[in-house]
Amino acid sequence: MLSAGLAPSATAIDAQSEQWYLSAMKADEMWKVSTGKGVKVAVVDTGVNPNTSSLKGQVLAEAPAAVAYKATEDYDGHGTSMAELIAGTGAGGGLKGLAPDAKIVPYRIATNALVGKADAKKAPELADVIRAIADSDAKIISMSVTSDIDDTEELAAVKYAQSKGKLMIAGTGNDAQTKNFIGYPAAYPYVVGVAASDKAGTVGKFSEHGNYVDLASPGLNVPLWCDNTFKSYCNGEGTSQATAIASASAALVWSAHPDWTANQVLASLIDTAGRDWAKDDPSTYLGYGLIRPRKVLEDSGYKPAAAGTDPLATENAAGVDDSSASPSASTSSQAPKDTSGGAASAAGSSSESSDDTTMWVTLGAAAAVLVIGGGAFAVIRARRRA
């Protein structure tokens, strides 16, 4: 499995000063309404270190024994970074999470950092982890991982989790400049595929595109731990960070509206996403647009969609279109989906423009060219498969 994050830069940084998206998304205003309290987010990654200054008291070791192997030990630093982006307190100069009162339930799966080591054989499979979370009280499953393998057991687990009311969010992947393969679990039905954007609303040139992209979220120049020594933060970019921030956005909305279903939370984020094209004509780069939870939280009279209406029904019924994938990449066995109307630019016209056309703060001409953005070499992480 590929990490949904690119290699961080080698230069240590002051993490909080680099969290540009908090001000861009007007986090201070959102926190007056919701901080994510009462929402548990399952982070499926490389494990989570609960002892960083920003995560003390934020991590719940609640994974069932069968899938809990070393869940609170992070062999890479990646999972801890995602947890902090979601629910970090900011203590000790650590990352301030977008949903600082949400709680993290960690799950550890094997990647190629464990290949050849005894731990790789003991780490649970993704399908087993998803099923375990489905039977828990965690509301959101955040998966900053991606693979080009369409696995029937994973698909069955995803469908089970959907039937249990979970909101599943995953990064689309970072190989757009090479293979641009279809990324799973993001491409499975009922999973929200998240692309990575910068502060101008521009999609990173590494960010995978296709008709399984549902939303875009901040993912460029977003800080994370440099490595598993947890001594310093570095700047990084990738759909990993975008996934974590999207998961935190969902936690904010769900905390403010605890009686809503996963469908209603997702539908509200799709409805209020920043875009300059018709909502029923999603972009293959940005999906339904740039995530803006503030637009839901600030509207006390917001009316949610029907509880049982799937906001991704069209995609889920039609399947994934593999036409944008490289011939060298593994392709999906699912039925193709027509993407002839997918918008490739955020500068297209739309009668559904919001009252202020803000994406993070503004949607300007910089958003028109979607394939401009930071790039770096990908860190290949292969999940163990039987």
Query: How far is the C-alpha of 90 from the C-alpha of 96, rounded, in Å?
Result: 4
DSSP conformational letter for 233: E
Flag whether 53 is in a domain.
Answer: yes
CA distance 122 to 110: 8
Average pLDDT, the chain: 83
Is pLDDT at 348 greater than 70 in this prediction? no
149: left (phi over 0), alpha (psi -120 to 50) or beta: beta
Number of domains in the chain: 1
CATH of the domain at 69: 3.40.50.200
Q: Is residue 144 part of a domain?
A: yes
Residue-wise pLDDT tens digits, 230-288: 999 999 999 999 999 999 999 999 999 999 999 999 999 999 999 999 999 999 999 99
| Distance from chain centroid for Cα 231 | 25
Task: For residue 366, give both structure tokens.
Answer: 């910089």
- The catalytic residue positions are 45, 78, 240
Q: Using CB atoms within 10 A of its CB, is residue 335 exposed (0-12), middle (13-18) or buried (19+)?
A: exposed
pLDDT over threshold 70, residue 296: yes
CA atoms within 13 A on the CB side of 79: 28
pLDDT band of residue 141 (cuts 50, 70, 90) is very high
pLDDT digits (tens, 9 = 90+) for 61-76: 999 999 999 999 999 8
Using alpha carbons, list the distances in angstroms from residue 187 to 168, 215, 353: 11, 13, 27
Maximum pairwise Cα distance, the chain = 57
Q: Report yes or no on 375 lying in a domain.
A: no
303 in a domain, yes or no? yes
Q: Show the domain range for 351.
A: 2-367
Residue 208 located in a structural domain = yes
Assigned domain for 242 exists: yes
What pLDDT, in 10s, does the model give residues 357-377?
334 433 332 332 222 222 222
Q: 223 with 234: CB under 8 angstroms?
A: yes
Question: How much is the pLDDT for 179?
Answer: 82
pLDDT digits (tens, 9 = 90+) for 4-38: 666 666 677 899 999 999 999 999 999 999 999 99
Helices first, then strands: H and E counts in the chain: 10, 11
Check residue 181 and give its pLDDT: 86
In a domain, 378, yes or no: no
Q: Which has more pLDDT, 298 or 332?
A: 298
The answer to whether position 119 is within a domain reads: yes
C-alpha–C-alpha distance, residues 172 and 240, integer Å: 9
Q: Provide the whole-model pTM.
A: 0.85
